[in-house]
Structure 1
């Protein structure tokens, strides 16, 4: 089902951090992991700890397998709105430099 991508703000996602409604932001994409909590090999606690938040860094720190990354697709429900997105190594050039701070601060979330 390729359709229009649903967009979310960080603000509206931050309250979705409960066992019966858990979402994660990973590399600017939004995943509803509610039905995956019981099946997560690392336990539901690690998902709930970051639910409603950006879990990109801890996700990458664990070095998930290609199978795990493929499984994620079935839980994707949308993406962040443009002004809530952050640059990540996966979505932008891997050549980091000290000029990256110039792109930050364009969107203020209150």
Structure 2
């Protein structure tokens, strides 16, 4: 029967001399693999203390890389000790309605354009009377 570890227990193994990862609900001691990892040991060390499944899957490891994992297997993770990820919900903000902004501009123009035309017409009339 596989040994079951808590997240706190696995998190203690977070150095280049003792490095454990959680991937797919399983715990792996990858200390001996740190120097050989194609992405460098920093990538593995940055994935300690958390569920690294998404990190592992996002890279797109080959089937041979996945097969290698068996030799580093040390046990299972007690999933109840891993905090659940919550979905990001953006803060509530008033909705910007571009249509209302353009409605406002149209209303201003509906008022100003006739006023400008009227002013020009009156100005032309006074100019033609005073020059005659």
Normalised to the residue count of structure 1, the TM-score between the two structures is 0.70
Distance in 1 (alpha carbons) for counterparts of 2:31 and 2:46:
13
More helix by percentage: 2
RMSD between aligned residues: 1.9
Deviation at 1:13, TM superposition (A): 1.3
In terms of mean alpha carbon deviation, does 37-46 or 49-58 score higher? Answer: 49-58
Deviation at 1:41, TM superposition (A): 0.8
User: What are structure 2's unaligned runs of at least 5 residues?
Assistant: 88-132
2:52 to 51, 55, 58: 55
User: What are structure 1's unaligned runs of at least 5 residues?
Assistant: 88-100, 102-110
Deviation at 1:84, TM superposition (A): 3.3
Query: Which one has the largest radius of gyration?
Result: 2
1:7 partnered with 2:11: no
Deviation at 1:53, TM superposition (A): 2.2
Distance in 1 (alpha carbons) for counterparts of 2:79 and 2:21:
17
- Tell me, yes or no, if the aligned pair for 1:28 and 1:85 is still in contact at 8 Å: no
The count of aligned residue pairs is 85
Aligned pairs (5 A) from 1:1-110: 4-84=1-81
Distance in 2 (alpha carbons) for counterparts of 1:82 and 1:50:
17
Higher relative contact order, structure no. (Cα contacts within 8 Å, ≥ 6 residues apart): 1
Deviation at 1:81, TM superposition (A): 2.0
Distance in 2 (alpha carbons) for counterparts of 1:78 and 1:56:
15
